[in-house]
Amino acid sequence: MANTFECEKGFSYTICRISKKIPNDGMTLRAFLNLLGDRGRLITCMVLAAPFLIPVSIPGTGVVIGIIILLTSLSIILERYYLVPEFLLKRKMSYKSLIKILDACFRMLNFLEKYMKPRLLGMTNKKSSRIFNNFFLVFCSILFITPLPIPLTDTLPAFGIFFLSAGILECDGYLILFGYFMVTITAIYFLIITFIGLKILFHMF
């Protein structure tokens, strides 16, 4: 997990550090994912969740993106390469393609750095808090996957995923607390929808 030094440097430091380690002849997906480490995985979760922060999305895309986010967050806990199939891990990627990926991440996340800083470090530096944070991230990913044709069922989990990932990345306890809040609101919202749905079914039959 990110140490305080990397948190103080922010996203730009992490992405620049990674880009300098990519060989000119490229590298395999396995090597690239290993180079990204946990911070790269968390950036992946943020980037994938970001489009769903606006409550307008293409139907069905939330399930696909949610599965990718779930596998990515599970890989942090299990310390695996995003749970990607072996044949893909062996695939070699060019230097140009890898730099293009990192550059896109840099442009998308760089503007956020001014609003984030290490705060409430007990929320990120302790082993118990890291386990707790990852559990909430996985739980929110599962809610994200749930294919309910109801407004906000993609947006609310996306906010939880986005702020939890950002908070862990930047060691910002305030963002993590807001992530907890969003996960709680999401869970309550899903419970209410489930209760109403079951009540309607009960009256129908």
d(CA 94, CA 24) in angstroms, rounded, equals 8
Encode burial over 100-115: b for 16+ CB neighbours within 10 A, e otherwise: ebbeebbeebeebeee
Helix (H), strand (E) at residue 178: helix 173-204
pLDDT at 3 > cutoff 60: no
What ranges do the domains of the chain cover?
4-204
Instruction: Please state, rounded to an integer, the average pLDDT across all residues of the chain.
Output: 79
pLDDT digits (tens, 9 = 90+) for 140-160: 988 888 767 777 888 899 999
Q: What percent of the chain has pLDDT over 70?
A: 85
Q: Dihedral sign, CA of 133, 54, 15, 170?
A: negative
pLDDT digits (tens, 9 = 90+) for 192-204: 888 887 777 777 7
pLDDT digits (tens, 9 = 90+) for 53-101: 877 655 556 777 788 888 888 888 877 666 667 777 788 888 888 887 7
Q: Are 157 and 186 in contact (CB under 8 A)?
A: yes
The whole-number pLDDT of residue 5 equals 47
For 154, the 3-state DSSP assignment is: coil
For 16-22, which contacts have Cβ atoms below 8 Å and span 24 or more sequence positions?
16/106, 18/102, 19/98, 19/99, 19/102, 22/95, 22/98, 22/99
The whole-number pLDDT of residue 47 equals 77
Instruction: Give the number of C-alpha atoms closer than 13 A to the C-alpha of residue 31, restricted to the C-beta side.
Output: 15
d(CA 38, CA 137) in angstroms, rounded, equals 13
pLDDT at 39 > cutoff 60: yes
